[in-house]
Structure 1
Amino acid sequence: MSAGQPVCALLLAAGRGERMRPLTDATPKPLLEVQGQPLLQWHLQALQAAGVERVVINTAWLGEQIIERFSSIFGHPRTAGKGKLLSISYSNEGADFGGALETAGGIARALPQLGPVFWLAAGDVFAPDFVFDSAAVRAFADSGHLAHLWLVPNPAHNPHGDFGISPQGLALNLPADSAAPRYTYSTIALLRAELFAPPWWEIPAGNPAGVKSPLAPLLRRAMDAGRVSASLYTGRWTDVGTPERLAELNR
């Protein structure tokens, strides 16, 4: 990745949102509103403000509503003057394969639309304080790591956490009996396309067969090789996974 090469982002918006039913029976979860605007829009605003120029959104469940809502260009009054307009394209897993491909499968499918380094964020997470910092992109691109994860203090619904952080800033795939602290993966990350190629990944580029695959096992393999770094993020963050959490944010 050259110093002046723009970075793009992939926003994950393909899930069914089973735990959010009945709210998601007629509305995709990323379009549910928090404080007056769709969840997905909070990320789009932050990306635009940070100067990111291109976003890919993967879709499946009721994906046509997401495409209709955001179309191909995003610009919002709250971020006017703070960044260029965002160009939006889509990876339509529902139309292509009849359903979502899980996180790694969806990333691999969208990979031809992404660059060598890209942001990743789940469209159903509310993190209004997070900054998609260009300095973080440059540091990551220079690091040689395959992924950089933002971890958060463990919420009540995930008390045991997911990964640790070493004193050197590496993400740790801790054994079950480890006493070291674990934190929860925020679903926000910087990724290198190299992670989705041999020896880490065996599915062909672009995932032409639509193979479903989770991301966590791939991250753990890279962690075990010392190729994943991490930061602790302590700003506002909510995994909007239940109607109760959504209602709490809107109170």
Structure 2
Amino acid sequence: MRNMPDAVMLFAAGFGTRMGSLTANRPKPLLEVSGQALLDHALALTDAAGVRRKVVNTHYHSDQIEDHLSVRSDVAVSRELPNILETGGGLRKALPLLGDSPVFTLNTDAVWTGPNPLAALRAAWDPVRMDALLMLVAPENALGHNGAGDFQPGPDGRLQRGPGAIYTGAQILRTEGLNEISQDAFSLNLLWDRMLEAGRLFGLLHEGNWCDVGRPEGITTAERMLAGQING
């Protein structure tokens, strides 16, 4: 079993319902920000970080995403059909493609400025102390996001749930515990809760801005952020 991640799961199976009519006939990962599909923004981060193995899960308009990825020979697809499996179930289904733990995971509905989040996670990963390392962002550096936050990091980076830093959708995660969960479709929050109890869930603050492109107005916000017109 390896100690450093060399595979990434990119989550692209969701319905994108908050996008309204924009996702009536196409999946949210293929919506464009600054002329580039959200999925390609995410893949660019994995390419720049040198992640060797890339897996994208699909469900809603799966055929469109697979067509889009057909030009890339380095990306495998994990189809979730007939049922969508959520983040935990989707990751578990993709494990044969991802290989041994640990792995990166990355949401495909956000854009970033600042240091590459995957490279930063790799540099801070300590497999002796950690079962997961979540990339977080301070509220003042989070654009397009509403809410009080998700986690409170301690002095050593160990996490507790509560208002504060916002989870960005990027992390390094040990996957062995997925096989202990009985549900077919489930959130990774179930695995995080077990890691929290064991004191092995950690966080790292992103040193840049992050924009959640979850609603139509998030596209304009993200484009302005990338153009340097607004900051967190």
TM-score normalized by the length of structure 1: 0.79
Q: Which residue of the partner structure matches residue 77 of structure 2?
A: 90
Per-residue CA distance 1:165-184 (angstroms, 9 max, x = gap): 0101111124xxxxxx6211
1:31 aligned partner: 30
Which residue does 1:178 correspond to in 2? none
Residue among 101, 110, 113 paired with 2:97: 113
Q: Pairwise mapping of residues 102-141 of structure 1 onto structure 2 (< 5 A)?
A: 102-114=86-98, 115-133=100-118, 136-137=121-122, 139-140=124-125
Count of aligned pairs = 220
Identity rate of aligned residues, in percent? 36
From 173, 176, 195, the counterpart of 1:194? 176
- After TM superposition, the structure 1 = structure 2 runs for residues 136-215 of structure 1, keeping only pairs within 5 Å, are 136-137=121-122, 139-140=124-125, 142-154=127-139, 155=142, 157-174=145-162, 182-198=164-180, 201-202=181-182, 211-215=184-188
Partner of 1:99: 83
CA offset digits 1:65-110 (Å, max 9, x no partner): 1111112626xxxxxxxxxxxx1101100xx3x2321111111111
Question: Are 1:223 and 2:222 counterparts?
Answer: no
- 1:52 and 1:72 map into 2 onto residues whose CA distance is 18
1:246 aligned residue? 219
Return structure 1 stretches of 4+ with deviation > 6 angstroms: none
Structure 1 segments unaligned to the other structure (5+ residues):
75-86, 175-180, 204-210
Larger radius of gyration: 1
Paired with 1:127 and 1:21, the residues of 2 have a C-alpha distance of: 23
Distance 1:125 1:157, change over 3 A: closer
Shift of 1:221: 2.5
- CA-based RMSD of the aligned residues comes to 2.2
Tell me the TM-score normalised to structure 2 length. Answer: 0.85
Equivalent of 2:205 in 211, 226, 232: 232
The answer to whether the Cα contact below 8 Å between 1:125 and 1:240 also exists between their aligned partners in 2 is yes
Q: Deviations over 1:38-86 (max 9, x none)?
A: 0111121121122112100000001111111112626xxxxxxxxxxxx
For residues 45 and 120 of structure 1, do their structure 2 counterparts lie closer, same or farther at Cα, with a shift above 3 Å needed?
A: same
2:18 counterpart letter in structure 1: R
Give, in whole Å, the separation in 1 of the partners of 2:69 and 2:40: 9
The whole-number CA distance in structure 2 between the counterparts of 1:6 and 1:151 is 19
